A = this chain, B = another copy of it.
C-alpha cells in the first residue's frame, strides 16, 4: 500500500511546504489569480496550478471564474481539524517550559538566599 494521496485529507495536503506557502498567501482573505500566486511564490505556473488543484480537492481553497482568470480564495475552516488535533499538545510543552522556568526561578531564589 503506497502513501496516502495528497488529496486524501488536509494533513496530507499541507505536508508540502509550497502548499502551506500558498495557503499563507490566501490568508489575507483576498482573491488571488494564478498569475499573482506564481509571482509571489517563485515557481512555474504549471506547478502552481497543480498545487492549487490539490488544495481545491481537499476543499481548503475554492475558485471563482473571472474572465480568463481564476481567482482562488481560502476556506480556512478546513484547517480546523489540524488545529483541533494539535491544540491539546500545546499544554504539554507549555507545562514543560513552565517546569523549567520554575526550576530556574527556584535556583535564582536559592542563590539570592545565599548572598
Contacts and interface: CB of A to CB of B under 8 A. Distances in A.
A39 interface: no
A114 interface: no
Interface residues of A, number: 29
A86 interface: yes
Interface stretch (A11-19, A30-38, A63-71, A104-112): A11-19
A8 to B, nearest CB: 9
A15 B20 contact: no
Contacts of A20: 11, 85
Interface of A: 3-4, 6, 11-12, 14-17, 20, 23, 27, 29, 74, 76-77, 79-80, 82-83, 85-90, 92-93, 96
